[in-house]
């Protein structure tokens, strides 16, 4: 057996390197081999901290008889969804044509051209009605390809065409305050009035939705809906979804937030740190920061993708057993593994959250950690051509292309870091990255594009912002910092492209609606010019309700203005001053901390 996975940069793929399945990593070779053998591809998509991925690996992919059936009838491909999100997105969308039970592991059967004609998620080794046995699925798919190939190819082409058509958006106008308030009320109508949060079981944190409900326009125009976000965070923070060390698990399997699915994701925790900060829940915010810095932070400064749900206890694999022990007892156990992949966009979320939280709560070490993470990504996550890539592992850059969201989320993190430190350099780098995205960088997966498969037909915001929403948010932030009106126009263009869909389905477009709300109201921008960043005037500004809060020295203000951030023009005061602005129109500067209003 040729071992093709052991030297990949994915812990998920490496975990399957010893399988008897003749796995290929995602790449041109899989398409060439499928065409050469004229057989379907079996594309198995998952990630390293996915419990049911572990289960299916143990039950089926490690089984010699099952592996023999796979090897005989298919070209088998392993894909890390965190390394190749557009591949995962494309095949998840295709799978929705065959099953409503979407999730991971995702198993997709495709033509040699990569077009899906059947798909499902977890299948057991033996039939468990209504689930068939995985071996029976393999036999049925192979029989269909052999005896009804034309029908299978016709189905694959129809799915591909339908997804390409669905990806086309109908442009609308920017939503106004009334429309956004109505969308927020629609979300609040789905609140679980007994246990908090949204939906039934399984129950997710949906941080993208919570952050929209916390937006200042929503708080003012629909306060009863906005309050649902605080209730959700309070319920989650007091439940089994939050571990004793402060980190949050991926989701709860029950409506009352009990029996968590024990993996812990960087994406969830970084966004929930911002939710906690906006709620004013300092205890929860500090707990999340403790988890990020104490568990997910990797050597070199970047943050790992997630912590596993499983670990070894008494010689056996246990899901959740480590987390169910009291914290003092954990010291005697091997902790669940951390996926060491440093993902560009996910680290951008962590940089933004830690920089903002550190500045607000006076934790300089958090801001320094955010700066270290940004430096690690900018230094290490680069391909041979110098362009940023999707991820790195142990200092080696992946060949997977960076998505638009990767670049935009990192840019937004760099803007937050610049605001927290007063240093213009991260803002300049962030603006450069954003310009790359606006010029077309961060494209689709090249292999999917070559096969004519829509790489990102889904523009919804799920556990993190979509490409569209991430770019729109970064552009909005750049405009608020004074980078120029063209950035506001870029944000508006992306919101307009999806506005009608977002208003009709607000639960699936929280991040985009948050940007829309930011465009519908004039931003409040607070700039404090002082030689004493730890002084009373700076502290008063950092406690205010504003969209932009920046504390700079006179020299730093000059540097921002020179770099083209017009918010800082004319603010190079030698005396200590606070400038309170609304969409760049500023009141007379003040030097008395009591004169800085905390309210909008």
What's the pLDDT at 455?
62
Confidence check: pLDDT of 165 > 80: no
Give CA–CA dist 263/281, Å, rounded.
23
Task: Tell me which residue has tokens 């670990």.
Answer: 311
DSSP run (H or E) holding 228? helix 223-237
Give the helix, strand, coil percentages of the chain, each rounded to 5: 50, 15, 35
Tens of pLDDT along 313-328?
A: 999 999 999 999 998 9
Give the Cβ contact number of residue 447 at 10 Å.
18
CA dihedral over 154, 157, 163, 164, signed as positive or negative: negative
What's the pLDDT at 513?
98
Residue 445: pLDDT band (50, 70, 90) is confident
- Percentage of the chain exceeding pLDDT 90: 87
Give CA–CA dist 143/177, Å, rounded.
56
Residue 68: pLDDT band (50, 70, 90) is very high
Tens of pLDDT along 272-312?
A: 999 999 999 999 999 999 999 999 999 999 999 999 999 99
Residue 40 phi/psi, 5-degree rounding, is -70, 160
The alpha-helical segments, DSSP class H, found in 109-192 are 134-147, 149-166, 177-188
Pairing label, strands 396-397, 391-393 = antiparallel
What's the pLDDT at 574?
74
What's the pLDDT at 130?
85
Average pLDDT over residues 33-51: 95
Tens of pLDDT along 2-15?
A: 579 999 999 999 99
Residue 456: pLDDT band (50, 70, 90) is low
**Average pLDDT of the chain?**
94
What's the pLDDT at 446?
86
Tens of pLDDT along 458-470?
A: 678 989 999 999 9
Q: How far is CA 376 from the centre of its chain?
A: 18
Query: Which three-class secondary structure state does DSSP give residue 432?
Result: helix
The alpha-helical segments, DSSP class H, found in 391-542 are 404-421, 424-438, 446-450, 467-480, 485-504, 510-520, 536-542
Please, what is the angle between helix 510-520 and helix 485-504, to 10°? 130
Confidence check: pLDDT of 457 > 60: no
Tens of pLDDT along 388-429?
A: 999 999 999 999 999 999 999 999 999 999 999 999 999 999
- Tell how many helices (H) and how many strands (E) occur in the chain: 24, 19
108, 97 contact by CB (below 8 A): no
What's the pLDDT at 160?
77
Residue 448: pLDDT band (50, 70, 90) is confident
What's the pLDDT at 101?
79
What's the pLDDT at 155?
87
Tens of pLDDT along 309-367?
A: 999 999 999 999 999 999 899 999 999 999 999 999 999 999 999 999 999 999 999 99
The alpha-helical segments, DSSP class H, found in 311-421 are 327-330, 344-361, 364-380, 404-421
Confidence check: pLDDT of 1 > 60: no
What's the pLDDT at 532?
95
Residue 167: pLDDT band (50, 70, 90) is low
Tens of pLDDT along 550-595?
A: 999 999 999 999 999 999 999 987 789 999 999 999 999 999 999 9
What's the pLDDT at 550?
98
What's the pLDDT at 97?
84
Average pLDDT over residues 127-133: 89
Average pLDDT over residues 525-549: 96
């Amino acid at each position: 057996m040729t071992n093709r996975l052991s030297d990949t940069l994915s812990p998920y793929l490496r975990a399957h390197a010893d399988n008897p399945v003749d796995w290929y990593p995602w790449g041109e070779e899989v398409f060439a081999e499928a065409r050469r053998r004229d057989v379907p591809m079996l594309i198995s998509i998952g990630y390293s901290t996915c419990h049911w991925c572990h289960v299916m690996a143990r039950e089926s992919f490690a089984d010699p008889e099952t592996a023999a059936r796979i090897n005989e009838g298919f070209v088998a491909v392993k894909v890390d969804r965190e390394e190749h999100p557009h591949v995962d997105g494309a095949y998840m969308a295709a799978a929705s044509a065959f099953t409503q039970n979407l999730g991971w592991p995702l198993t997709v059967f495709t033509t040699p051209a990569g077009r899906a004609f059947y798909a499902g998620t977890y299948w057991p080794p033996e039939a468990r009605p209504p689930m068939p046995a995985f071996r029976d699925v393999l036999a049925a798919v192979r029989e269909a390809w052999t005896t009804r190939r034309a029908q299978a190819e016709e189905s694959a082409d129809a799915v591909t065409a339908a997804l390409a058509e669905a990806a086309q958006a109908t442009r609308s106008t920017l939503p106004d305050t009334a429309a956004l308030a109505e969308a927020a009320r629609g979300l609040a109508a789905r609140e679980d009035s007994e246990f908090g949060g949204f939906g039934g079981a399984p129950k997710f944190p949906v941080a993208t939705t919570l952050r929209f409900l916390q937006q200042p326009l929503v708080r003012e125009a629909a306060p009863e809906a906005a309050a649902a976000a605080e209730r959700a965070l309070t319920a989650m923070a007091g439940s089994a979804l939050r571990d004793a060390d402060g980190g949050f698990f991926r989701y709860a399997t029950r409506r009352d937030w009990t029996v968590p699915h024990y993996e812990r994701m960087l994406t969830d925790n970084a966004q929930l740190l911002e939710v906690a900060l906006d709620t004013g829940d300092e205890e929860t915010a500090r707990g999340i920061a403790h988890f990020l810095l104490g568990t997910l932070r990797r050597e070199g400064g970047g943050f790992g993708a997630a912590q596993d749900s499983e670990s070894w206890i008494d010689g056996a694999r246990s899901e959740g057993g480590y987390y169910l022990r009291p914290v003092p007892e954990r010291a005697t156990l091997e902790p669940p593994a951390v996926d060491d992949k440093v993902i560009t966009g996910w680290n951008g979320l962590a940089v933004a959250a830690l920089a903002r939280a550190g500045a607000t709560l006076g934790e300089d070490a958090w801001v320094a950690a955010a700066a270290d993470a940004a430096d690690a990504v900018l230094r290490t996550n680069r391909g041979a051509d110098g362009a940023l890539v999707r991820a790195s592992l142990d200092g080696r850059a992946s060949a997977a292309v960076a998505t638009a969201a990767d670049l935009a989320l990192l840019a937004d993190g760099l803007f937050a870091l610049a605001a927290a430190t007063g240093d213009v350099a991260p803002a300049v780098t962030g603006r450069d990255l954003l310009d790359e995205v606006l010029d077309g960088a961060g494209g689709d997966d090249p292999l999917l594009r070559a096969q004519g498969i829509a790489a990102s037909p889904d523009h919804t915001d799920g556990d993190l912002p979509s490409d569209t929403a991430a770019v729109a948010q970064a552009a909005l932030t750049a405009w608020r910092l004074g980078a120029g009106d063209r950035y506001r126009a870029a944000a508006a263009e992306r919101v307009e492209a999806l506005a009608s869909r977002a208003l009709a389905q607000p639960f699936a477009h929280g991040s985009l609606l948050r940007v829309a709300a930011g465009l519908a109201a004039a931003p409040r921008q607070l700039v404090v010019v002082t030689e004493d960043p730890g002084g009373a005037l700076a502290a008063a500004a950092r406690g205010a309700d504003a969209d932009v809060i920046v504390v700079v020295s006179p020299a730093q203000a000059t540097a921002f203005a020179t770099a083209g951030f017009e918010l800082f023009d004319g603010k190079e005061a030698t005396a200590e001053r606070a400038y309170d602005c609304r969409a760049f129109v500023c009141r007379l500067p003040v030097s008395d901390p009591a004169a800085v209003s905390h309210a909008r």
